[in-house]
Amino acid sequence: MLSSRPLPSLRARSGDRSRRRPGIGTLAATALLCLALTPVGPIFAPTPGEAGRADVILVLGPATASRLDLAKEMMESGHAANLVVSTNSGHERFGARNLQTCRVDQGYPVHCEQSAPFTTQGEVGLLQRLSEENGWHKAIVITSKTHATRASLYIGRCYDREADVIWPSERLSVLRGVEEYFYQSAAFVKAFAVTNDCV
């Protein structure tokens, strides 16, 4: 006599299998998440340079108070003999006419200059030109922590001397951290796809 118990359907078996194995959608979502998180380390945990003795300190724009304060502290403690501030010549918040570092004699040479283009790529080009003109062989570059790895990328490509990238200690709010993540991620794509040469 045949058992009256129903046999499991193919659909049920197929459903059991899909619960055990991730579907294509899950794998694709996981891959996209991993790709999206790839820049987290370079943006939020860059490798700091060693701020030893150098010929010049370059403050990348925007020339914020925290970057300028760190530069001033390092200049006064003898880390370098020359300071370069990347800025424009206008009255904007970070313009040279609003920066005391650029307006008032600091007791050491200060070059406040706008690079062309006014981008990280252009700023490194400015550093290269000034180093060639002045015989500088080593630089300390000051920027933000989230910008340090990208700055190092351009320095490695376009500066033929020695340079260390450092940053002031700053706390980011969650909102600012999210903004920096998206901005720097897009800028990394640009650095590899568009501005992958030197000026």
Query: In the structure encoding, which two tokens stand for residue 9, read together?
Result: 């359907």
Instruction: Kindly report the average pLDDT of the chain as a whole number.
Output: 83
Measured between alpha carbons, how far is 88 from 114 in angstroms, rounded to an integer? 5
Give pLDDT tens digits for 162-185: 999 999 988 878 888 788 788 888
Residues recorded for the chain: 199
Q: Is residue 7 in some structural domain?
A: no
Q: Is residue 11 in some structural domain?
A: no
Per 3-state DSSP, the chain is made up of helix, strand and coil in percentages (nearest 5) of 50, 10, 40
41 vs 102, higher pLDDT: 102
Q: Is residue 63 in some structural domain?
A: yes
The partner residues of 139 in beta bridges, in order of sequence, read 56, 163
What's the pLDDT score for residue 65?
94
| Domain around 157 | 52-193
Number of domains in the chain: 1
What's the pLDDT score for residue 132?
98
CATH number at residue 66: 3.40.50.620
Give pLDDT tens digits for 71-85: 999 999 999 999 999
Q: Is residue 46 in some structural domain?
A: no
Q: Is residue 44 in some structural domain?
A: no
Q: Is residue 79 in some structural domain?
A: yes
